[in-house]
Amino acid sequence: MKTSIPLLGLLLASSTTAWAATETTKIERLEQLEKQVAELKKEVNTNTKTTTDLTPKIKVGGAVRFQYSYEDYDDDNKDRGGDFDFDVFRLDVNGSIGDVKLSAQYRWYQYMNVIHHADVAY
């Protein structure tokens, strides 16, 4: 009986050491996996566009211009007290959608309608 107690103690001590080593290895492996997941998340976040990056940022503007002229050499104009005329109506669109930039302007005159410019850049 005396010989079985030291043998039992030896078996118990070796199994505890083996269990501790196995648990330490598992914890180290878990920490490695957590680091890899964190690196992958960082890589995904830097390589993908978020929806806020793709939200259009467009500004719409324009102008209306009128013209008043008094011509004392023209009797009809002088009798009317001058002329107040429409000159131009302008519509501007500028902005970006993600990496695409755009700019356009359309103008309406009394005598014609024309695209002033229309640019798209990437």
**For the chain, which residues make up each domain, given as ranges?**
16-55, 56-121
Give the pLDDT score at 14.
Answer: 59
User: Over the stretch 60-82, which tens digit does the pLDDT of each residue have?
Assistant: 999 999 999 999 898 888 888 88
**For the chain, what percent of residues have pLDDT higher than 70?**
76
Give the pLDDT score at 106.
Answer: 97
Is residue 29 predicted with pLDDT exceeding 90? no
CA triplet 55, 58, 60: central angle to 5 degrees? 155
Give the pLDDT score at 24.
Answer: 75
Query: Which pTM value belongs to this model?
Result: 0.51
